[in-house]
Amino acid sequence: MNYQEQRNRTEAFNFLLDGDHEVVIYGVLKRLHVVKGNPLYDDMVQEARLAFVNKYLQGLNAKKKPEPFLGYIYQGVYWAMIDYMRCQAVADGHNYETTDDTDPLSDLPDMDQSVAEIEANVLISTLSGLCTMDELKYLQCAYYYGMNISEIARYLGVNRKRVYRWRKRLTHKIGDLL
């Protein structure tokens, strides 16, 4: 790193720490519903700080005007945090292994966690374009209502074997997406 790059990086960190510019980071985390209780909170604050500095440097190189500069940085930090959360979800998802005995929906996150809720809804909306109506009924009963195989079969008026078939086809579709 040459002297000018080092100087710009120092200027970017100083800009972050001057005034209330760190509020941008906490605003992004609040927008993403990431609270202090989240196990990734501290990591995300640090990642957001680095994203802030990188976006500041990009803005300098692009010769951005001062007025929309914080908005430009805010948007860059926001997208960097979404990307970070996506990478974390993908990393967590690579540990997923299915067998015929496991319900693929049991690993979907709790609906009380906002970021996890968004990711689950994205997966479900992606699946909805690939699934039959029966598979979607299974998905709705299992995920949204928390029903087991027997309850789903009774609720939909079919036998358990048919519900197992829907689950198996859905499991294969989820596997193809991952």
In a domain, 26, yes or no: yes
Pair (87, 8) in one structural domain = yes
pLDDT at position 160 is 92
Query: How far is Cα 178 from Cα 94, in angstroms, rounded to an integer?
Result: 8
On whether residue 35 sits in a domain, the answer given is yes
**Which pLDDT does position 98 carry in this prediction?**
47
SS3 at position 178: coil
Please tell me whether residues 74 and 124 are part of one structural domain: no
pLDDT of residue 62: 75
Mean pLDDT per 10-residue interval, the chain, length 178 residues: 79 77 84 83 88 84 68 84 82 54 57 60 74 85 84 91 91 78
Range of the domain at 158: 105-177
Q: Quick one: pLDDT at residue 96?
A: 45
Residue 167 lies in a domain: yes
Q: What angle do CA 76, 77, 82 make, to 5 degrees?
A: 100
Specify the long-range contacts of residues 38-47, CB closer than 8 Å, at least 24 apart. Answer: 40/88, 44/81, 44/84, 44/85, 47/80, 47/81, 47/84
Domain count, the chain: 2
**Of 59, 93, 127, which one is at a domain's C-terminal end?**
93
- Is position 87 within any domain? yes
Q: What is the DSSP string of 103-120?
A: -GGGGSPPTTSHHHHHHH
pLDDT at 113: 54
Determine, yes or no, domain membership for 145: yes
Last residue in a domain, options 44, 67, 93: 93
